[in-house]
Structure 1
Amino acid sequence: MKKWIVPIVIIVLVALWAMNVNNKAVGLEETVTKSWANVESSYQRRNDLIGNLVKTVQGAADFEKGTLEAVINARAKATSISIDPSNITPEQLAKFNEVQGGLSGALKSLLVTVERYPELKANQNFLELQSQLEGTENRINVARDRFNEAVEPYNKYVRTMPTKFVAGMLGFDEKGYYKADAGSENAPDVEFDFK
């Protein structure tokens, strides 16, 4: 009977350790999932505001159709991409970032083109929407930063020894970080054509 005590104690300790690894990894993964939901929520807020912005612009100006269509199409693309928060891969984040970057570019074109319409710039609804969009862009940036902050401890935990073995067996894989668009380190060129 005594010869079984040591193996049983070892098995119980390993099982308790494995449960602890699982529980901590689940907690960290939930933090990552919640952080990603906050990123998506910020993008959804922006998409909702864009619809109102487009309607305000359409109603207040004889606007350039191409720019407006680019914003509408970019918004449609941005809302068509979704990511499964339980399996966030770098490839998924890159695709998501690509369509969101297209929307950001279309919005910049819209706001630069609006400079040609003084009556629109004076429209209180437009000014309020523009201010909300700026605030939303800041929220998106904060949410992306917080997402990366949540990914770091999770990745460290599931990638360090010896928890890496148990986490891997339990299906806890490394998560991708949110990365900036290629070329975003360069300042954008802003041109005002008042012809």
Structure 2
Amino acid sequence: MKKSAPIIMGILFIIVVIAGFFISSYNGIVSAEENVDGQFAAVETQLQRRFDLIPNLVNATKGYMEHEKEVFTSIADSRAKLAGAKTINDKVEASNELEGALSRLLMITENYPALKADAQFQTLMDELAGTENRISVERNRYNESVKMFNSKIRKFPTSVVARLMGVEKRDYFEAQSGAEQAPNVEF
């Protein structure tokens, strides 16, 4: 009986170490996942800010650009798509589509000097520029948290716990294709 006590203690020690590893890994994965979700919520907050600014921007420009209906239609459609997006990928796609529509609107405003001089329009443009900067910062933070999360769940031995939890890699918030090229603005 006395000889089996060290063996039992050794087995219990190994079980405690393994249980501690699984608990630690599980908690680390949960924390990293919550960080990713929190960062995406910060992106969504800024996207909502932009979403709320757009009607004011459109209303400020409509009086000057009555024959540019397709741009306004594109913005409205993109806003509706963003409002109805459920998954992260759908939100990313809708956000990129809305950015493209806004870019077209801003390129067209170059043809309207009176609009560019309008104080309300200038204020809205400043707000939009600030919002776009905030979105960029939050996207970068989100992508950094996704990078850390994906790295964590792919490293052994934590990857074993991640598989048992059914945790999968998260997608990055990527720019739309063609975003690396500057738009062509002609006057």
* TM-score over 0.5 (shorter chain): yes
Farther off after superposition, 64-73 or 26-35 = 64-73
- Code of the aligned partner of 1:123: D
Looking at structure 2, the residues matched to 13 and 62 of structure 1 have their Cα atoms a distance apart, in angstroms, of 70
- SS of residue in 2 equivalent to 1:31: helix
Instruction: Give the Cα–Cα distance (whole angstroms) in 2 for the partners of residues 111 and 135 of structure 1.
Output: 15
Aligned to 1:86: none
Is 2:64 the counterpart of 1:61? yes
Segments of structure 1 that go 5 or more residues without pairing to the other structure are 84-91
2:110 to 112, 115, 121: 115
Instruction: Give the structure with higher Rg (CA).
Output: 2
Instruction: State the one-letter code of the partner of 1:150.
Output: S
Partner of residue 183, structure 1: 178
Shift of 1:123: 1.6
Q: CA deviation at 1:35?
A: 0.7
Query: Which one is further off, 107-116 or 42-51?
Result: 107-116
Task: Give the match for residue 25 of structure 1.
Answer: 29
**For 1:144-183, what aligned pairs fall within 5 Å after superposition?**
144-183=139-178
Aligned residues: 182
C-alpha separation in 2, matches of 1:177 and 1:52: 30
Amino acid at match of 1:61: Y
Cα–Cα, structure 1 residues 190 and 116, in superposed 2: closer, same or farther, change >3 Å?
closer
TM-superposed deviation, 1:119: 2.5
Q: Please list the CA deviations of residues 6-51 of structure 1 after superposition, one character each: whole Å capped at 9, or x if unmatched.
A: 2222111111111110111111111111111111111111110001
Query: What code does the residue aligned with 1:105 have?
Result: G
> Partner residue of 1:78?
82
Q: TM-score, normalised by structure 1?
A: 0.85
**Is 1:127 aligned with 2:135?**
no
Q: 2:48 aligns with which of 44, 48, 63?
A: 44
Q: How far apart are the structure 2 equivalents of 1:133 and 1:25?
A: 36
SS in structure 2 opposite 1:176?
coil
Cα deviation, residue 98, structure 1: 2.5
After superposition, the C-alpha distances for 1:104-137 in whole angstroms (9 at most, x for unaligned) are 1111111222223333222211110011111111
- The separation in 2 between residues aligned to 1:180 and 1:69, in whole angstroms, is 22
Q: Counterparts of 1:62 and 1:185 in 2: how far apart (Å)?
A: 28
- Quick one: distance in 1 between partners of 2:186 and 2:97? 19
Q: TM-score, normalised by structure 2?
A: 0.89
- RMSD, aligned α-carbons: 1.7
Aligned residue type for 2:64: A
- Distance in 1 between the 2:74 and 2:178 partners? 21
Q: Percent identity?
A: 38
1:103 CA displacement: 1.0
List structure 1 segments (4+ residues) > 6 angstroms apart after TM superposition.
none
- Provide the C-alpha distance between the structure 2 equivalents of 1:38 and 1:176, rounded to a whole number of angstroms: 16
